[in-house]
Structure 1
């Protein structure tokens, strides 16, 4: 893959909030639950943990409360092989919390993150390590929705023209409607995404934000500036649009246990492919394989295939890929 603009040294740095997460165990409506399972949940740390699984040097940058939940989050991310040494511990603000409520119509998520430690993150992070020596910064559209200081952080990171930044910036649109004041998300997320080097967006997500009739190519017209635009079409395929054209790779067939975290896993796999210098097709395949590992588990973080199997999947002919059953991996 020809990516001379991607720095070859320094870690990938994922910036954003990770919360403690509570969910009924076994799954049932929250009001009927007798026990809750405690885990961690955060888009950016999900990406960081999967990058670590792929052997990519990665750091997670955020803030946590000086509380037991913060310690639980920090330990979980560190145990996955991610550098958490620069995570700030805030003695005055709590660690964010989410609670899942499984219902017949789908799972509702209740957030308790107002005034959380991570909501006080701001642009001063960009002057510190590990940002100054990073090869890639990874943000999502969740962070600018958390607070005005978080919005300034992301806006400042993207303010310099792409060619003048010392690192590449990856941005996953990751629209969370509940976090945005009504009517504000479409314009802000489009503006931020169009300043990034690498952008991830779901086709349905883009249609909800910017127009029901959008296709991958018309999304590219809305976001002409990213060097790589990745459009994910659910369980069907993912396409990477660059100045050299469009590459589309079908998604792998698999039994879905829970879809939460699959988008983060895909982004991590694709970024790992870029850092490794794989072809665009191989990077998309790596994204799909990583996403499958998340789809197969109830949490956000599943197990990747072994190294030999992963390399085999990157090399098989397209016709073999298209009929592959990921449940057999």
Structure 2
């Protein structure tokens, strides 16, 4: 199964400040803030939703095609992804901008001050899927994950026009979309991914009820953290797949991306949606137990073999 994953490619710079931001804020002077925080720790992690999903698919033995934009500083990251089994030949390299970057400082109260630099990601709107299709000999599924909003709309339109099945995963970019864009990103999707909050936000932005959203898609997969996953269909069926428990929680960042990778890998094996979701939950737990979105290490055959849990029909 040839899966192309479109979306963001980024580097995360995460710092820890041992004090409290609030202690440095002076009442009555917040209109002229000039502060500098001395951080005790810095972690540089590979990230970006599309890259995270592609890494997970590669870890499970697939050869996903990553479609996105990065900067000239992408060489080391490219080598990392290729080693994990990801096809990066369709990544656009910007001549002017760095790879997207997330810079975040967290204080002792878990408050955060962060800046996201879109960088090369803003050039993703210039990427077309047709050359990718020609290069790899066809696509069975395109994942449209968070990216430059214009790129997301373009890739969705291309899939509909070409008859290529696609999965809509608007995620955090929902807040950037207007009603028409939200509807265009969802309409015709074979699979729609959201978490619970995003599900409510999507309905608010699109002006559609849950039933109307389901009339636009094949299946709506909603992740609910420790409460597992709900798979809903337009025929009124709802199936709940429980999360895979763990006794160690290290970092929740990228857990949703790992779920998507596991779910899509299950589909590539011809599995049912519930069994695919079970594999997604298993990989999500591996990501949850590890600091960093692409730092987990798995034995793919073993994880696949023990992911045959029993789903619960709820409607």
TM range (shorter): 0.7 to 0.9
Q: Residues 126-162 of structure 1: CA distance to partner in whole angstroms, max 9, x if unpaired?
A: 220247612111111x2243xx4x25523432442xx
How far apart are 1:283 and its partner, in Å?
0.8
Matching residue of 1:3: none
1:249 aligns with 2:255: no
Q: Which of residues 169, 174, 177 is equivalent to 2:171?
A: 174
Q: Residues 239-258 of structure 1: CA distance to partner in whole angstroms, max 9, x if unpaired?
A: 11235622211112223221
Q: Residues 283-323 of structure 1: CA distance to partner in whole angstroms, max 9, x if unpaired?
A: 11011001111111110022235523531331x5569xxxx
1:120 aligns with 2:123: yes
Q: How does 1:141-152 map to 2 (within 5 A)?
A: 142-145=146-149, 148=150, 150-152=151-153
Contact 2:159–2:165 under 8 Å retained in 1: no
How far apart are 1:207 and its partner, in Å?
1.9
Q: Which of residues 107, 114, 119 is equivalent to 1:109?
A: 114
1:138 aligns with 2:143: yes
How far apart are 1:230 and its partner, in Å?
0.6
* Cα distance change of structure 1 residues 236 and 62 upon mapping to structure 2, 3 Å threshold: same
Q: How does 1:1-329 map to 2 (within 5 A)?
A: 9=1, 11-24=2-15, 31-67=37-73, 70-103=74-107, 104-113=109-118, 116-122=119-125, 124-130=127-133, 133-140=138-145, 142-145=146-149, 148=150, 150-160=151-161, 165=163, 167-176=164-173, 180=176, 184-185=177-178, 188-211=181-204, 219-243=210-234, 245-254=237-246, 255-301=248-294, 302-314=296-308, 316=309
Cα distance in 1 between the residues matched to 2:100 and 2:233: 37
Between 82-91 and 131-140, the greater mean CA deviation after superposition: 131-140
Partner SS, residue 258 of structure 1? coil
How far apart are 1:43 and its partner, in Å?
0.3
* Cα distance change of structure 1 residues 109 and 176 upon mapping to structure 2, 3 Å threshold: farther
Q: Residues 37-82 of structure 1: CA distance to partner in whole angstroms, max 9, x if unpaired?
A: 2221110111111111111221112222223xx2232222222210
Paired residues in the alignment total 290
TM-score (ref. length: structure 1): 0.78
TM-score (ref. length: structure 2): 0.81
Cα distance in 2 between the residues matched to 1:27 and 1:282: 43
Q: Which runs of 5+ in 1 are unaligned?
A: 1-8, 213-217, 320-329
Alpha-carbon RMSD across the aligned residues, in angstroms, is 2.9
Contact 1:66–1:91 under 8 Å retained in 2: yes
How far apart are 1:19 and its partner, in Å?
1.4
Cα distance in 2 between the residues matched to 1:139 and 1:308: 29
Q: Which runs of 5+ in 2 are unaligned?
A: 21-35
Higher-Rg member (1/2): 2
* Cα distance change of structure 1 residues 50 and 293 upon mapping to structure 2, 3 Å threshold: same
Contact 1:123–1:152 under 8 Å retained in 2: no
Cα distance in 1 between the residues matched to 2:64 and 2:159: 20
Matching residue of 2:23: none
* Cα distance change of structure 1 residues 238 and 28 upon mapping to structure 2, 3 Å threshold: farther
